[in-house]
Amino acid sequence: MTLEARPAAGGALDIDLRRVSKAFGPVEALRDISADVRAGEFLSIIGPSGCGKTTLLKIIAGLIPATAGEVVIDGAVVRGPGPDRSLVFQDFALLPWATAQRNVEFGLRLRGVTAAERRETALRYIAKVGLAGFEGAYPHQLSGGMQQRIGLARALAVNPRILLMDEPFASIDEQTRRLFQDDLLRLWAEERKTIVFVTHSMEEAIYLSDRVMVLSPRPGRVHQLFKVELPRPRDQRGVRESGEFAAMVEGLWTVLRKLQ
């Protein structure tokens, strides 16, 4: 698999993982993770269950510290959460008592953005994720896919330069998942963010990404970095029916099978 380098995206940031290790007491979750994520790149992380994918994402987000090593973003060492990063969770993490608009406004409110600007930004991103007209709906009134769209709108509304996504499509049906993949690629092309995306799906990793990082079983280490050569923009039928896509997925499966 090969990939021509994409030009650095305006406003996006690069991520430098320098020998990142993490232990929880006697349990070693990650060991010596070193990799560069280029500004504007879409990088997926895949590997056996328990290999530390989510742990690595949380370290990049600044939610938990590394035991050793460091994460450097645009030349600065990560010491904690920052406005340059947003994290999208698998379980949506919406406020159940708040409307869709209020949920999207949440991060903006914490940053002291005025009510008028919060409203304008929230409505714009709700429309971008295809949910215009549902601003006043509460989470329990929305399907799982719709809730995840609101979660994505909330993450984008604060205008992060890095978007971290932890298996965001794992709990939605396959049809919705494929539609959401295309929506994410469209938003990525428009917003030009650096994206680090955790998934268990080989097909999803290949379809979305510029590169795929394969982690070994615990303690997670970088076993291999795949480069994905598929033309952009991508569409489900054109890509998934191609021999190149099938060969890449089979190649990734061969690597993962040996790690089990």
How far is the C-alpha of 162 from the C-alpha of 61, rounded, in Å?
9
pLDDT (0 to 100) of residue 3: 33
Residue, of 2 and 254, whose pLDDT is higher: 254
Q: Which domains does the chain have, with CATH numbers?
A: 1-82+163-168+194-260 (3.40.50.300), 85-159 (no CATH)
4-13, 103-112, 210-219, 245-254: the lowest-pLDDT one: 4-13
Average pLDDT of the segment spanning 54-79: 94
Q: Is the peptide bond before 168 cis (omega within 30 degrees of 0)?
A: no
| Digit-coded pLDDT (tens) for 24-40 | 999 999 999 999 999 99
Q: Which amino acid is at 232?
A: R
Q: Is the pLDDT of residue 89 over 90?
A: no
How far is the C-alpha of 51 from the C-alpha of 214, rounded, in Å?
10
How far is the C-alpha of 41 from the C-alpha of 213, rounded, in Å?
12
Local structure of residue 90 (DSSP, 8 states): T
For helices 174-191 and 144-157, what crossing angle results, to 10°?
A: 10
Q: What percent of the chain has pLDDT over 70?
A: 95
Across 246-260, b (16+ Cβ under 10 Å) vs e yields eebbeebeebbeeee
Average pLDDT of the segment spanning 47-73: 94
pLDDT (0 to 100) of residue 126: 93
Q: Is the pLDDT of residue 148 over 80?
A: yes
Pairing of strands 42-46, 194-198: parallel
pTM: 0.88
Task: Name the nearest CA neighbour of 214 among 203, 224, 228.
Answer: 224
Sheet (strand 222-227) strand order: 85-88, 162-166, 194-198, 42-46, 211-215, 222-227
CA angle centred on 47, ends 44 and 51, rounded to 5°: 115
How far is the C-alpha of 239 from the C-alpha of 191, rounded, in Å?
23
